[in-house]
Amino acid sequence: MRDVSVQYRIGERRVDVLRDFSFAVEDGEFITITGPSGRGKTTVLNILAGFLPPTSGTVLWEDNDLYAQSDDQTARYRNSQIGMVHQFFNLIPELNAVQNVMAPGLIGGANRHEARRRAEAMLDRVGVLGRAEHLPSEMSGGEQQRVAIARALMNSPRVVLADEPTGNLDRVTAAEIVALMSRLHAEDGTTMILVTHDPTVAAAGTRMIQMD
């Protein structure tokens, strides 16, 4: 991201969410972004995911302008290169755990058998294979977040974007989720960018960005 600004208007008043914000990410980093509410942390993730065009500035992915490409190209980028983890899990309530994890693979063109095999392997890696046939409503918050992490990793993305992944969990479960993400990062070398208010969580990364 280079000199990125995001603005919107409320009536006659202009609100600056980001102003001339720049940072670069190296392959394999585990970056945590922290700071008070309203400083644009989630906005940064939405821009990196291709959801929110900045008002000004440039967002580069492998030297290509992310927002100069077509909607179809952006959708393929998001499906194949980006995994996302959310504070409130964002699992599809009508689908069980393995079906939720399969979804990105099926969208990306995998056949159902291969998607099922891969999804079960990912659930096993995050410790909830025994919940494969359970709906989100039948799982605890920590179990749902483990499923969400498995879904984020389903297509072996280059980057995982995590928005307050421990914000809806108790402290013990939050520590378990942070330990899991740290282990997966160490094993796979997947780049992770994690937004948090929690200084303990922020300290888990290899680099911290403070947004004041």
The one-letter code for the residue type at 60 is L
Which helix (H) or strand (E) is 151 found in, with range?
helix 141-153
Please state the pTM of the whole predicted model: 0.96
Q: What's the pLDDT at 87?
A: 95
User: How many CB atoms sit inside 10 A of residue 53's CB?
Assistant: 14
Q: What is the mean pLDDT of residues 123-148?
A: 98
Residues 6+ apart with CB under 8 A from 10: none
Crossing angle of helices 97-107 and 112-125, rounded to 10°: 130
The count of domains in the chain is: 1
CATH of the domain at 156: 3.40.50.300
pLDDT tens, position by position, 49-100: 999 999 999 999 999 999 999 999 999 999 999 999 999 999 999 999 999 9
Q: What's the pLDDT at 212?
A: 86
pLDDT tens, position by position, 99-121: 999 999 999 999 999 999 999 99
Which residue range(s) make up the domain with 172? 2-210
